[in-house]
Amino acid sequence: MKRNSKISRLKPRVTLSDLARDLNVSIATVSRAFHDGVTIADETRYAVAQRLLARKPRPDGIFGANDVVALGVIDTARRNSG
C-alpha cells in the first residue's frame, strides 16, 4: 500500500527522540511518561506532557496507556490553555 505523501506533509511529526532531546532525558523516560506510571515521577510525566503540548503545531491527538495517563495530559493541556 502506497503511503499518502499529501497527508504526511500536513504536520511535522514529533518523535520520542525530539521530546527526549528537548528535555535532556532518555527516550525510555519519554516512553514511560505515556505508559503506566510506576517507574516515573509525576513531575517528569508532567514535564513531558507540557513539552509535547508546547510544541507548535500542537498535536491533534495523544495516546496514553490508560485513563490516568490520558487524564494527566488533558489536565496539562487545560493548565496551559489559560
CA distance 11 to 2: 19
**How are the residues of the chain apportioned to helix, strand and coil, as percentages rounded to the nearest 5?**
60, 0, 40
pLDDT digits (tens, 9 = 90+) for 17-65: 999 999 999 999 988 887 765 678 888 888 888 888 887 777 666 666 6
What total of structural domains would you count in the chain? 1
Show the domain range for 27.
13-81
Q: Say if CB 45 and CB 30 are below 8 A apart.
A: no
Three-state DSSP class for residue 44 = helix
Q: Say if CB 47 and CB 20 are below 8 A apart.
A: no
Confidence of residue 7 (pLDDT cuts 50, 70, 90): low
Least confident piece of the model among 3-7, 11-15, 18-22, 63-67: 3-7
> Which CATH number belongs to the domain containing residue 57 in this structure?
1.10.260.40
Residue 2, pLDDT above cutoff 90: no
